């Protein structure tokens, strides 16, 4: 786990910021909002955590909602359901083409991936960005809530790859991330959605 920022207590020990990490739902997580989801944490601070679900595409084209931003959206160029909180709001993730330098409207999350201010003119960012993904809503946790969910076995915390947020087959992301871990974690990728049907 990469260490970014100040730690916070979990189970009596300090936990480093998980900003930029993936939360991968375990088969035991039965909340329908998060069943078989992969969440990128864009912020994890003492005040709580915020992330976006990477593998819940809608059928609404980005261009229909955000006009010129649609030309920067990678395939599938649709809005994604970022989570159950404030579905009328939008969070935009972008991947920079070059090492991150100061680019107005871009806030680094991890490496070349960060959030983009949608009020900025997309033409000003076009050459610096290799692609965007727009999320309607987000996933949020109050202080200590996410840490408790991790301790209870609801989430695997795994390293993100720069392309995870921008895969062209988002439905395959959950098993893909688990398989690349190897060992027992890879076996979880084959866990049936409903054990009763097995």
Unique residue bearing structure tokens 């078989």:
36
Measuring CA to CA, which residue among 153, 169, 173, 150 is closest to residue 161? 173
Whether pTM > 0.85 for this model: the answer is: yes
Looking at residue 11, what is its pLDDT?
44
Question: Encoding tokens for residue 143?
Answer: 């202080």
Question: Encoding tokens for residue 196?
Answer: 């009763």
Measuring CA to CA, which residue among 60, 63, 52, 93 is closest to residue 79? 60
Report the alpha-carbon distance of residue 121 to residue 17 in Å, rounded. 31
Report the alpha-carbon distance of residue 155 to residue 38 in Å, rounded. 9
Report the alpha-carbon distance of residue 19 to residue 43 in Å, rounded. 5
Unique residue bearing structure tokens 């392309």:
163
Domain boundaries, the chain: 4-197
CATH of 4-197, one of 3.50.50.60, 3.40.50.720, 3.20.20.220, 3.40.1740.10: 3.40.1740.10
Question: Encoding tokens for residue 90?
Answer: 């939008």
pLDDT tens per residue across all 198 residues of the chain? 333 333 334 444 446 899 999 999 999 998 999 999 999 999 999 999 999 999 999 999 999 999 999 999 999 999 999 999 999 999 999 999 876 567 888 899 998 999 999 998 898 887 888 999 999 999 999 999 999 999 999 999 999 999 999 999 999 999 999 999 999 889 988 877 655 444
Per the CB < 8 A criterion, the answer to whether 160 and 21 are in contact is yes
């Amino acid at each position: 786990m990469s260490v970014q920022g100040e730690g916070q207590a979990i189970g009596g020990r300090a936990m480093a910021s998980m900003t930029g990490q993936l939360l991968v739902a375990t088969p035991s997580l039965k909340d329908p909002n998060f069943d078989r989801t992969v969440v990128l944490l864009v912020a994890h601070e003492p005040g709580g955590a915020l992330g976006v679900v990477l593998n819940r595409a809608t059928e609404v084209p980005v261009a229909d909602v955000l006009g010129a931003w649609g030309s920067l959206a990678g395939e599938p160029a649709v809005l994604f359901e970022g989570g159950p909180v404030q579905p009328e709001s939008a969070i935009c993730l972008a991947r920079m083409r070059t090492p991150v330098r100061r680019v107005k409207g871009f806030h680094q999350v991890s490496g070349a991936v960060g959030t983009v201010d949608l009020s900025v003119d997309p033409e000003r960012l076009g050459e610096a960005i290799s692609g965007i993904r727009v999320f309607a809503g987000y996933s949020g946790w109050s202080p200590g809530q996410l840490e408790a969910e991790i301790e209870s076995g609801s989430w695997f915390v795994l390293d993100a790859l720069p392309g995870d947020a921008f895969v062209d087959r988002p439905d395959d992301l959950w098993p893909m991330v688990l398989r690349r871990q190897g060992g027992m974690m890879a076996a979880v990728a084959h866990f049936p959605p409903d054990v009763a049907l097995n």
